[in-house]
């Protein structure tokens, strides 16, 4: 059974913030696919719970007339996979969401929980990083908005104050319009498995040249990471097969994979380079620069 010491079901985000502020030991519970597993393992840090599961104000996905997409933190992976605003505008995020666990986990697990647990393996993280997503946090000090890559601080660590709720994730139109993108997850099994390496890429191409490349990885460092050096090197490069070699030769400089029981560092490095090439090949195929 679960060792709850306190449990409060919030009726609104504001009430959740007040409850979190009253008890600094308490944590939000969204889908519970991480929190309840930790509680089942008798983990001390998860015993005081503020339940935000099902709050309608966290479940919305919208696109305003300027093209800004806002995704509520309580949106589940199943919704991300199926929602027309996601599949029609930022399908790379639907690809990440559809690769999470199995249907049961996708039906309850939320994008907010995936980001806030700070896991280096979060499948929504690499797609959101290449979309230059920002996260919106609300707490007793008010509301703030920060780039996702700054929100990650270390393994399992994010820049969230005790009373704060991640309310939404925002993607500006210049970060998805005119971009081609792809997410690829490598795991030992095809389903119900955490990524050995996950890679998301996006390319903006003009006149056969790379105007901008964005590349992000999961499980290739202490947090999900962008490949800033490689992105710089790719600027202005030819958008053809030579790009695959260029990125392959640079990408390891941006990342810090390590040995674990899941995979050795050497194997991860090999997968990192292979996924960079696969993702880029898929992107070039999408924009018709390289035929399969």
Ligand X SMILES: Cc1cc2nc3c(=O)[nH]c(=O)nc-3n(C[C@H](O)[C@H](O)[C@H](O)COP(=O)(O)OP(=O)(O)OC[C@H]3O[C@@H](n4cnc5c(N)ncnc54)[C@H](O)[C@@H]3O)c2cc1C
Q: Looking up tokens 């983990």, which residue turns up? A: 43
- CB nearer to ligand X: give 116 or 203: 116
Binding pattern to ligand X, positions 170-209, x when CB under 6 A?
Answer: ----------------------x-x---------------
Q: 59: helix, coil or strand?
A: coil
- Residue 277 binds ligand X (CB under 6 A): no
Alpha-carbon span 250 to 244, nearest angstrom: 10
- CB nearer to ligand X: give 117 or 269: 117
Question: Which residue of 17, 19, 78, 113 would you call a contact of ligand X, by CB under 6 A?
Answer: 113
What are the C-alpha distances in Å from 107 to residues 81, 158, 244? 10, 24, 36
- CB nearer to ligand X: give 233 or 263: 263
- Residue 159 binds ligand X (CB under 6 A): no
Question: Which residue of 9, 18, 67, 101 would you call a contact of ligand X, by CB under 6 A?
Answer: 101
Q: Looking up tokens 């392959």, which residue turns up? A: 248
- Residue 55 binds ligand X (CB under 6 A): no
Alpha-carbon span 156 to 203, nearest angstrom: 29
Query: Which residues, 59 to 88, sit near ligand X by CB under 6 A?
Result: 73
- Residue 139 binds ligand X (CB under 6 A): no
Smallest distance from ligand X to CB 239, Å: 30
- Residue 166 binds ligand X (CB under 6 A): yes
Spell out the alpha helix ranges (H) of the chain.
13-22, 35-40, 77-82, 84-89, 91-98, 103-108, 111-116, 125-130, 148-151, 228-234, 241-250, 265-286
- Residue 120 binds ligand X (CB under 6 A): no
- Residue 283 binds ligand X (CB under 6 A): no
Number of residues that bind ligand X (CB under 6 A): 31
Q: Looking up tokens 């955490």, which residue turns up? A: 194
- Residue 105 binds ligand X (CB under 6 A): yes
Question: Which residue of 89, 98, 110, 175 would you call a contact of ligand X, by CB under 6 A?
Answer: 110
- The neighbour count for residue 52, using CB atoms within 10 Å, is 30
Asked whether the beta carbons of 163 and 139 are under 8 A apart, the reply is: yes
Distance of CA 132 to the CA centre of its chain: 11
Smallest distance from ligand X to CB 223, Å: 13
Question: Which residue of 81, 114, 168, 250 would you call a contact of ligand X, by CB under 6 A?
Answer: 114
Q: Looking up tokens 């941006």, which residue turns up? A: 254
Pairing of strands 6-9, 48-51: parallel
Smallest distance from ligand X to CB 59, Å: 11
Smallest distance from ligand X to CB 278, Å: 19
Question: Which residue of 10, 17, 19, 29 would you call a contact of ligand X, by CB under 6 A?
Answer: 29
Asked whether the beta carbons of 179 and 256 are under 8 A apart, the reply is: no
Asked whether the beta carbons of 91 and 111 are under 8 A apart, the reply is: no
Question: Which residue of 8, 10, 19, 32 would you call a contact of ligand X, by CB under 6 A?
Answer: 32
What are the C-alpha distances in Å from 266 to residues 14, 170, 220, 222, 247? 47, 36, 11, 17, 18
What are the residues binding ligand X (CB under 6 A)? Answer: 27-35, 37, 52, 73, 100-101, 105, 109-110, 112-114, 116-117, 119, 121-123, 160, 165-166, 192, 194
């Amino acid at each position: 059974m679960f060792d709850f010491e306190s449990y409060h079901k919030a009726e609104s985000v504001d009430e959740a913030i007040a409850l979190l502020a009253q008890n600094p030991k308490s944590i939000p519970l969204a889908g519970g696919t991480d929190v309840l597993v930790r509680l089942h393992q008798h983990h001390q840090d998860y015993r005081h719970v503020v339940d935000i599961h099902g709050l309608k104000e966290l479940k919305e996905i919208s696109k305003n007339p300027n093209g800004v997409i806002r995704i509520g933190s309580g949106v589940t992976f199943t919704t991300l996979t199926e929602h027309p605003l996601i599949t029609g505008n930022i399908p790379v995020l639907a690809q990440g969401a559809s690769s999470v666990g199995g249907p049961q986990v996708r039906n309850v697990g939320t994008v907010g929980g995936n980001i806030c647990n700070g896991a280096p393996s979060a499948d929504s993280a690499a797609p959101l990083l290449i979309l230059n997503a920002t996260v919106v946090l609300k707490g007793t000090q008010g509301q703030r908005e920060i780039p996702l890559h700054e929100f990650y601080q270390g393994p399992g660590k994010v820049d969230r104050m005790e009373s704060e709720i991640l309310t939404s994730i925002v993607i500006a139109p210049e970060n998805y319009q005119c971009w081609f993108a792809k997410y690829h997850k490598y795991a030992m099994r095809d389903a119900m498995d955490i990524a050995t390496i996950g890679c998301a890429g996006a390319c903006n191409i003009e006149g056969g040249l790379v105007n901008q490349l964005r590349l992000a990885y999961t499980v290739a460092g202490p947090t999900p990471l962008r490949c800033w050096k490689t992105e710089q090197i790719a600027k202005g490069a030819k958008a053809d097969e030579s790009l695959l070699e260029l990125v392959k030769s640079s990408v390891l400089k941006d990342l810090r994979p390590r040995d674990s029981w899941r995979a050795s560092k050497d194997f991860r490095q090999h997968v990192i380079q292979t996924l960079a090439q696969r993702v880029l090949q898929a992107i070039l195929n999408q924009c018709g620069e390289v035929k399969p």
